[in-house]
Amino acid sequence: MRLNKTKIIKEIIGEAIKNYGYEYIGYSGEWKFEKIDGNVKRYIYIVPYRHSKERITVELGTNLPETGRFQAIEFTKNFDNHIGYWNCMSDEAHFTIAIEKIKDALLQGGIPFIESYDENSIAKIYEDAELYLYNHHSELKVECMKRFEIEDDTFTEQSVNEWFEKFIKEEAKVRDDEKELIKLCMQITALIGDCFCNYMGAKWILEEREFDGKKYCMIMNIKSVPNGFRALRLVLPHHTELDNIRDIVIRRIQNKIS
């Protein structure tokens, strides 16, 4: 008999999270639940694990800017799953056990985690940060250099490596404090952004996007990048870890177009 995964997920997880306002909205490669709370949409995704058909995981998301999708490992640290997935095999008994464990992880950690993201706590902070970064990147750069005892902004592979060693250590200290993390990210971005402007012909711009009408701080026309990058997003750890950012910056330096 074919395993009816949708039925099991709806009966176990769907019923458990219904009281929190989440409704099942369908399957398209993953099982998706949605909660609409004013302008905020929150999502729970039950996802086949990408590396194995015998494993399954859960991810969370919202429609708020900058949140992206959160992996299971981010909200299951205190539970029996520490590796981001559950073994479900291919039979009903194993699959049901896995879904029960995901349900418990959601109720104990996942739902409180995703409910903490709302318009006031996240969207407004990021929107203000974009504008502040654009208007005050020179001051933020000075703050960054003072904070990390950087004497000059010579933009080389060696200097970038030295800076990011300090950035990564500091990021680990403030990672659990959203506001301090954003402050750190703006300082780092201000330094890197100004270096791109001074050494690689880039420029700071504030661009209003049609899809949401909000303004985003960006660095454009870097000599080695066809269409620039969005500055604040570049260093937010929710999207890319700082060691990866270091590699990106170094590649820009190596590929500089004279």
* Mean pLDDT, all residues of the chain: 83
Name the residue with higher pLDDT: 255 or 21.
21
Q: Residue 59, SS3? A: strand
Rounded to 10°, the helix 178-200/242-254 angle is 0
Cβ pair 110, 104 in contact under 8 A: no
Please determine, for residue 166, whether its predicted confidence score (pLDDT) is greater than 60: yes
pLDDT digits (tens, 9 = 90+) for 180-210: 888 888 899 899 989 988 988 888 988 876 6
Name the residue with higher pLDDT: 166 or 120.
166
CA 155 – CA 202 distance, rounded (Å) = 14
Please determine, for residue 250, whether its predicted confidence score (pLDDT) is greater than 70: yes
Cβ pair 101, 86 in contact under 8 A: yes
Tokens, residue 162:
């030295």
pLDDT digits (tens, 9 = 90+) for 50-69: 777 789 999 999 887 656 78
pLDDT digits (tens, 9 = 90+) for 123-132: 566 667 888 8
At 9, the pLDDT band (50, 70, 90 cuts) reads very high
Write down the pLDDT at residue 121. 66
Contacts 24+ apart (CB under 8 A), 82-91: 84/57, 85/49, 85/52, 85/55, 85/56, 85/57, 86/55, 86/56, 86/57, 87/54, 87/55, 88/54, 88/55, 88/56, 89/54, 90/3, 90/53, 90/54, 91/3
Please determine, for residue 230, whether its predicted confidence score (pLDDT) is greater than 70: no
Identity at 179, one-letter amino acid code: K
Identity at 120, one-letter amino acid code: N
Write down the pLDDT at residue 8. 96
At 216, the pLDDT band (50, 70, 90 cuts) reads confident
Identity at 66, one-letter amino acid code: E
Return the ∠ at Cα 188 (arms to 183 and 193), rounded to 5°.
Answer: 125
Write down the pLDDT at residue 78. 63
CB atoms within 10 A of CB 12: 17
Write down the pLDDT at residue 30. 94
At 239, the pLDDT band (50, 70, 90 cuts) reads very low
Write down the pLDDT at residue 3. 86
Average pLDDT over residues 130-153: 92
Domain ranges of the chain: 5-115, 119-254
Write down the pLDDT at residue 212. 60
